Amino acid sequence: MSTKLTTTYDERLTAPRSYWLIAVLIGFASALIVFPYGGLAALAGFAVGTVVACSWVNTQGSSRIRIVGNLLVADDARVPLSALGEVEALEGEEARAWRTYKADLRAHMLMRGFVTGAVRIEVVDPDDPTPYLYLSTRSPQALSDAIDAARNK
């Protein structure tokens, strides 16, 4: 008998389009750097610079936050919902404060600079030294509500 886990929340933190434009501009800059060595070198510089920059942008946009069954999955972290306490939706200045001067070094942080909203989720498992999870999200209230709804199932 197989048990199918349902995904009740799924968000991918994709990089903004401007990052892709910047990656192409880095390719052009790479081409200009090696242009004195000839046109073929400039073409190779453009290709290599663009591929490296686009790989970095793709990595920045590959983070996902999901609620699957009774687990909160944020990139590599898989935390049972039973180990989570209070969920706080953060916007603007409060989100910035928790990712800078209010941050605890022991916390699990999934931060993306291009995402202004976040949630801070208390970890109540006594065996886990992590005090809280800080997750950048474009819709903090929706993630907070999804966690509460999945816990109350």
Question: Can you give the pLDDT of all 153 residues of the chain as single tens digits?
Answer: 445 677 788 999 888 899 999 999 999 999 999 999 999 999 999 999 999 999 999 988 788 999 998 899 998 889 999 999 999 999 989 999 998 999 999 999 999 888 889 999 999 998 989 999 999 999 999 999 999 988 887
Q: Residue 96: which domain range?
A: 68-151
Same domain, residue pair 54 and 96:
no
Q: Is residue 28 located within the same domain as residue 87?
A: no
| Residues 144, 74 share a domain | yes
Same domain, 73 and 141: yes
Q: Which spans in 61-129 are helix H?
A: 92-99
The answer to whether residue 2 sits within a structural domain is no
Report yes or no on 7 lying in a domain: no
Q: How far apart are CA 108 and CA 129, in angstroms?
A: 10
Number of domains in the chain: 2
Alpha helices, H only, the chain: 17-34, 39-60, 92-99, 140-151
DSSP one-letter string for 20-56: HHHHHHHHHHHHHHHGGG-HHHHHHHHHHHHHHHHHH
- Predicted structure pTM score: 0.81
Residues 24 and 75 in one domain: no
* Residue 4, domain member (yes or no): no
